Amino acid sequence: MLKKNPLVVFGIIGGIIIFILALPYLGLMFFNLFLTVTMKIGDLKVAHEMDRHLEEKYDLNFHVSSDSNGFVGTDFTAYPWRNMKLKFSVKENKQGKYVDYFLDAIYKKDINTALERYPLLKNDEAVRVMIYFDVNATVGKKFDFSDGYPDLADSPIPLTIKISNSQNLEEIDREAVLTYLKTSMKMVQEEKLPNHQITSTITVDAGEVVHYYTYTIPREAYSSFNTVEDMKEYEEVKSVKRQS
């Protein structure tokens, strides 16, 4: 009868103990692997659906890629095959519809170039000018870009232009606001930008009270918008008292 080597016995017992202790970690490892693969498959499916959606919407061929952020979510980026440098993001809104920033990507350079010609809007640190396409305005619409992109002035969707400014004054400096708004209107007219209205929010910090002045000026009013009195016709004010 063969004698059992104590070292072998202890080795077997030790291996069994280590295996038992490692089971929870192995289970977690395989679970994470399964979850990662499942999420990757899901991302590929969504990317394929987005790709098909974009092709139907713009009559162009696109490539959509995904970048997973774990449990935080996944970012999707697309570009048309005719211009791989023209990258933009695609998202799904709360209604389950895909929204994309393709128009912003197409015309970003043209918009920035136009803005450069108006230093008051571009270089004044007190003023923030946002010029962009409302992505929700393109949801459910189709465009034929198969023969090329139209010029910015002929864009099928109007630009959204918002101007914000903060003033630490007892009362609003309307002359300054008027200058910002008139310069923006001048830019829209001279550059022939597709735009239906300009909106502006001016925050006036008067210490104990903060005043919010908002303006929404339609394009048909641009040519007759010359004085503070003209501006007051489109003015709305909301005052909020600071909590002590």
In a domain, 61, yes or no: yes
If asked whether residues 118 and 67 sit together in one domain, one would say: no
The predicted structure's pLDDT at residue 2: 46
Residue 123 within any structural domain of the chain: yes
Q: Are residues 193 and 153 in the same domain?
A: yes
Has residue 96 been placed in a domain? yes
Pair 146, 73 in one domain: no
pLDDT of residue 94: 87
Please indicate, yes or no, whether residues 28 and 124 belong to a single structural domain of this protein. no
- Greater confidence, 212 or 94? 212
Q: Are residues 27 and 146 located together in one domain of the fold?
A: no
Q: What is the pTM of this model?
A: 0.75
> Is 222 inside any structural domain?
yes
Q: Are 192 and 122 in a shared domain? A: yes
- Please report whether residue 63 resides in a domain: yes
Residue-by-residue DSSP string for the chain: -PPPPHHHHHHHHHHHHHHHHHHHHHHHHHHHHHHHHHHHHHHHHHHHHHHHHHHHHHSS-EEEEEEE-GGG-EEEEEEETT-TT--EEEEE-TTS-EEE-HHHHHHHHHHHHHHHT-HHHHT-TTEEEEEEE-GGGGTT-----TT-PPPGGG-SSPEEEEEEEEE-SSS--HHHHHHHHHHHHHHHHHHT--EEEEEEEEEEE-SSEEEEEEEEEEGGGGGG--SHHHHHTTEEEEEEEPP-
Q: How confident is the model at residue 35 (pLDDT cuts 50, 70, 90)?
A: very low
- Give the pLDDT confidence of 103-146 residue by residue, as tens digits: 999 999 999 999 999 998 988 888 899 999 999 999 999 999 99
127 and 82 in a common domain: no
150 and 216 part of one domain: yes
Task: Please say which residue of 76, 100, 124 terminates a domain.
Answer: 100
Mark whether 141 and 235 lie in a shared domain: yes
What is the number of domains present in the chain?
Answer: 2
Do the domain assignments include residue 156?
A: yes
227 and 128, same structural domain?
yes
70 confidence band (pLDDT: 50, 70, 90): low
Evaluate whether residue 65 is within a structural domain: yes
Name the domain boundary from 47, 78, 100.
100
Looking at residue 20, what is its pLDDT? 67
Residue 110: domain span: 103-241
- Pick the more confident residue, 165 or 3: 165
Q: Among the three residues 100, 119, 137, which one is the final residue of a domain in this structure?
A: 100
Residue 1: inside a domain: no
**114 and 87 within one domain:** no
pLDDT reading at 47 higher than 50 = yes
- The answer to whether residues 96 and 108 belong to one domain is no
